[in-house]
Structure 1
């Protein structure tokens, strides 16, 4: 008789307000054989609040690789398990990646239970473009590494987001102002869904000065949502090249039209490609 494998449920938990947990998450947490938690002491409060008596085991950055083997063995034996982090969606700058990978490599079903996620909550309320965005997690803790990463991000045209520890928030904002410029808009999303929730959208100079002047803003969980860099200006091309490009765009995809226009006119392909993209945006 063959025993079917269990399922590893990746369960999002509240980032602040306990009422943000989903009914399905509560059902799964009650029904699984074991909950793998980032910090069992922290999660015990959540379980106590909802009357969940399921056993828990610690699964965090320091033991995940070794613990994962034992958890996968239980899954292969037929037990259903749940993976949770201290708050929000596991694996999003939280432990869980190694366990999920090991489970999938072993042929175990992994099922996500969506819910609270600080970066998505911040983005949804930031008022910055959200059709395309990037998430950078935590920047390096040391100043040199942080500034290097910010230099790499300075020309990113999409909205981008980071998590930052409260005791490094002001240093990070000062570095951002120096590297990105004081006019770049940033949203500080702090203590989301909690009593002292803050969402402040301002140019970096104003935001850094505001945080420096209010020590309460240097406490709690922080997400920074950063306005993307402006698109580089397209160098002028000849009127003849524009005419050729426009004719080709009526018949061909953007990349192919730009390449052929460059061959015909001798203009640079990258310039024509950027111009073609602008033509498409104008038509939209």
Structure 2
């Protein structure tokens, strides 16, 4: 029976893959991967020999129709990203929406995603939060920051290491120097690190020690 599986993959430590994820990846007809070279290492590690095909943000508009045709033909397909859960700041939404529109079964397995451990170990309130992902690069960035300056819930952002200090500086400008923030990098990897403090304190830390690796920023909401 045709089905699209959205399969989370480890964000660093390979031991974080689930037994069910391995089983699905071994038994589907096709694996769609964001980067076949990156995912190839993962599949080789777990002795998964399923056929793999490229599916990323630059070609997903063109490939969705062909994938839907294969699913309608009765195939089972798994979608994976380079790391974490597909469609969370990664390709996957367009294909999932197309499957829903075509009444094709979709199942997302539980598993690794970067923002949950970053939120939980931040020490900031996590009963209510919003996930912003990557802020707009240029157009709409200031508008978004002005809106978020009034947000009372904890906010979660993704950022690249070379833009971290710039983004934190903008947080200081729009949210204030004393706003609480937590920056987690290299989650689940050997050099995992979380730096907590005021925006100004965390800026000083990373100005003295330029960051490397994947980064999640957690920012406390405004107290009203």
TM-score using structure 2 length: 0.97
Residues 1:183 and 2:178 are matched in the alignment: yes
Which structure has more helix as a fraction of its residues? 1
Deviations 1:34-85 (A, max 9, x none): 0011111111010111111101111111111221111111111111000000
CA distance in 2, matches of 1:59, 1:104: 18
Within the candidate set 5, 16, 28, 1:9 is matched to: 5
Question: How far apart are residue 145 of structure 1 and its match?
Answer: 4.1
Question: How far apart are residue 213 of structure 1 and its match?
Answer: 0.4
Highest RCO, 1 vs 2 (Cα 8 Å, sep ≥ 6): 2
* Preserved contact between residue 8 and residue 81 of structure 1 (Cα < 8 Å): yes
Deviations 1:168-219 (A, max 9, x none): 001001111111111100000111001110111100110000110012xx21
Structure 2 residues not aligned, in runs of 5+: none
Partner of 1:266: none
Aligned residue for 2:40, secondary structure, equals helix
Partner of 1:125: 121
CA distance in 1, matches of 2:198, 2:104: 47
Deviations 1:247-277 (A, max 9, x none): xxxxxxxxxxxxxxxxxxxxxxxxxxxxxxx
Alignment of 1:216-227 (within 5 A): 218-227=211-220
CA distance in 2, matches of 1:68, 1:174: 39
Residues 1:205 and 2:217 are matched in the alignment: no
CA distance in 2, matches of 1:210, 1:103: 46
Partner of 1:21: 17
Residues 1:47 and 2:40 are matched in the alignment: no
Within the candidate set 154, 158, 167, 1:159 is matched to: 154
CA distance in 1, matches of 2:68, 2:26: 20
Aligned residues: 224
Partner of 1:150: 145
Structure 1 vs Structure 2 CA RMSD: 1.0
TM-score using structure 1 length: 0.77
Partner of 2:167: 172
Structure 1 residues not aligned, in runs of 5+: 232-284
Within the candidate set 109, 115, 118, 1:113 is matched to: 109
